[in-house]
Structure 1
């Protein structure tokens, strides 16, 4: 597991570094633009979550463990088929950010216009983000971590260098566009990474070949994604590849992915609702609330790397039908996450002022970070630990369980907790974090109980049978 942790950690750390760079650049461009990006994130995250595929890694990993290599590639195609359609309304919603914020939430005109510009430019990188995330998941499920661990540091470097120059004018002061360059830089970097994955790792190094054989290359993106689903019911002869390989699996994929996606959506919507509550406290509080999630992501980088390595190994072990190995991976993963999470949470509390200075040089903002550090630590600990168990449940394809727990934890835990604390204890940012932390503690319990009750021997036998490769998939 640990040999998968290092490259996964590098990839996640670089990705968090890229997002942190964006926030820091926006913060140093002015409080108005940090607020605008926060409101933009509030609106776009409500729909952008639907482009995420939390299930693909589990399906590909189990197929790979069962040595059903064709099925690994087919699941990638199924995911691209579904989410390419989902992408269309998401892009449209992102392009509506300005009128929604201005007329729906009565945001200041300058802030709404800046937020709308930010969202529209970022919408241009959604196709690249979707494709690159599917490709890296496809590779990671085969324990091929090189593409993600090498492309994300490149993205971080480019984002930092281009951002410093075009946003802040460093080193050439005459070439500076401020806030308006920030989303352009991010979008350009996202597309560069996607092209790098396709050209270098697929075109030149051919890392995809083992699980993307000759028959699977008959798949045509335009025909089998946008035309065939509209013109065939899976029984005709006009679209043989789609009828034989995509259509039979699309229904089951949708059945599993819908609750998983709704669980993620519930999480984002809940955070948007709480973000609105935090927004009523003042512009500084909004900026701190948005930036503090970058700190949570920093912690989640390490924990997520262990979770990702654990889920990859667990998926492969389940696919082989080895319940005993699956149990060992489960126990090692939980112990590793608990140890590292304690260390990273404590480090965040101790160095909170130094971390806050990354996002802003405003003393008011930095003091707010310090005042909220204990409640923020509670939130970070249970957020990261519950996300680990969520990943494990996804690996077991228990998406219905994840959805129910996420819904209860969000709307029966976090939102009511924040409202009650606001009412009885006062409208402070500390109470926002405390309510979120208590809600995540409830979610942690709701995830742990069903996971520990799962019979991994039975789950492994079922996964092995479902991914049996004795019959060719793409004949």
Structure 2
């Protein structure tokens, strides 16, 4: 039976102390105001829309802008590592690209996906004002991800035979494996960083992460230059520097959480309760991991398949440039993905169905407009963007030829990741995982093989087929989101938080 609106919203009408210590209506004054504006049927529709847009855009950009910068800077560190490698030679550029896209993205997708469980639980718990649970979720996730990192390390250790098994040439596999060995410490940095990142984002505290990442990026550039050129450590030096930079970010953010008064309600120190309920957390994390991994691995497979084409070095170099640009701009979408997840999770946890729905469409629209602008700029620079990576004219021509496909991918990226963020905020990870399997691996991948090899369209055919799968997934997520009953989603969020609260209480009694 659907709860009455008064039952859902009554707790929000009582002023309480928020996590920063200031008194506000439910600790989320803007959210409450947004729900009130959207519920005021006596106000003309256009005025309601205008007022609601002002409130939501203010909330959105305070969260999305620093989140975008964090993801851009973190990706720029990886991108700069490949650029430093590319200046050593075309083989080194191809090896760094293969090691990054063929091996490292496997760990990135798995760990980030598992960390998304924290995003769902912390976002909804913060909206429901169950602040003490955020620190427990953070620690529980860090434990699960650190344990997961151990078997992943074996993939890195045996990366050379794995790449040979996948059909890569011995010289390419050896060079890529050397690059990957230096990334092993990065796996464990992921295990700590992603839960911390989601913990901060759930509270709309992102700016400190931006400053820490920006400072680390400066250090990273200096160390990369020293390791690659002054100490002549080549690919291994470049990747070891990247690992060290990620650990600097982890230490910086950890110190900030432990020392700042902003977290006095959400971080109460290390707690033995984090070791309880791990299996339930693993199950939720697994659904998140499958959802994101299926997306991350999809374009990872594109790079691996390109290595099987005639003249694979040229194909990999051109794809490395395109994927580097795509990955960098994708961080803008990932920033909005985080904003969508937090906004929707907070609103559902707070019992604001109208505000949740409005947030979804507002963040999707803004992200799409930005993606169109990005695509226009990239297309106008299609003849010169490759020179940031390598000086080869042949690669530049190939990149220019692939640029229309890059533009379509960028436009889809303006919508698809945001809707995935909505799914995380709502806890739909398992559903999206099934959609991804169907669209990516039953439609997109076979279509890419057909166009690329049977019709002899090469890398353009492979990429075109995979765009078909991405487009189908985007349409399905748009349709599913449009049909969502947001009142029902509020009920589901309440039940989920009550379940985890019961788990905590049972642990306290032991």
TM-score scaled by length of structure 1: 0.87
2:122 corresponds to 1:60: yes
* CA apart distance, 1:292: 1.4
* CA apart distance, 1:153: 0.9
2:238 corresponds to 1:182: yes
Counterpart of 1:8?
A: 67
Deviations 1:414-446 (A, max 9, x none): 212212212454232222322222111011112
Q: Are the counterparts in 2 of residues 136 and 147 from structure 1 also a CA contact under 8 Å?
A: no
Counterpart of 1:43?
A: 103
Counterpart of 1:333?
A: 363
Q: Are the counterparts in 2 of residues 121 and 183 from structure 1 also a CA contact under 8 Å?
A: yes
Counterpart of 1:202?
A: 257
Q: 1:270 to 1:309 in 2, by over 3 A?
A: closer
List aligned pairs for 1:158-173, cutoff 5 A.
Answer: 158-169=219-230
Q: Are the counterparts in 2 of residues 322 and 461 from structure 1 also a CA contact under 8 Å?
A: no
Q: Are the counterparts in 1 of residues 348 and 489 from structure 2 also a CA contact under 8 Å?
A: yes
Q: Are the counterparts in 2 of residues 25 and 168 from structure 1 also a CA contact under 8 Å?
A: no
Counterpart of 2:140?
A: 78
Q: Are the counterparts in 1 of residues 109 and 297 from structure 2 also a CA contact under 8 Å?
A: no
Q: Secondary structure at the match of 1:406?
A: helix
Q: Are the counterparts in 1 of residues 108 and 190 from structure 2 also a CA contact under 8 Å?
A: no
Q: Among residues 120, 137, 151, which one is paired with 2:181 in the alignment?
A: 120
Q: Partners of 2:98 and 2:470 in 1: how far apart?
A: 23
Q: 1:334 to 1:259 in 2, by over 3 A?
A: same
2:158 corresponds to 1:96: yes
Counterpart of 1:322?
A: 352
Q: Among residues 295, 305, 330, which one is paired with 1:267 in the alignment?
A: 295
Q: Secondary structure at the match of 1:361?
A: coil
Q: Are the counterparts in 2 of residues 8 and 149 from structure 1 also a CA contact under 8 Å?
A: yes
Q: Partners of 1:422 and 1:136 in 2: how far apart?
A: 39
Q: 1:307 to 1:43 in 2, by over 3 A?
A: closer
Deviations 1:343-383 (A, max 9, x none): 11111111223322111111111111111111221122223
Q: Partners of 1:129 and 1:206 in 2: how far apart?
A: 25
List aligned pairs for 1:375-386, cutoff 5 A.
Answer: 375-386=405-416
Q: Partners of 1:12 and 1:273 in 2: how far apart?
A: 22
Counterpart of 2:80?
A: 21
Deviations 1:266-298 (A, max 9, x none): 334433433232112420111221331121123
Q: Are the counterparts in 1 of residues 110 and 293 from structure 2 also a CA contact under 8 Å?
A: yes
Counterpart of 2:37?
A: none
Q: 1:260 to 1:335 in 2, by over 3 A?
A: same
Over aligned residues, Cα RMSD in angstroms? 2.2
Give the unaligned 5+ runs of structure 2. 1-59
Counterpart of 1:367?
A: 397
Deviations 1:317-338 (A, max 9, x none): 1110111111221121121112
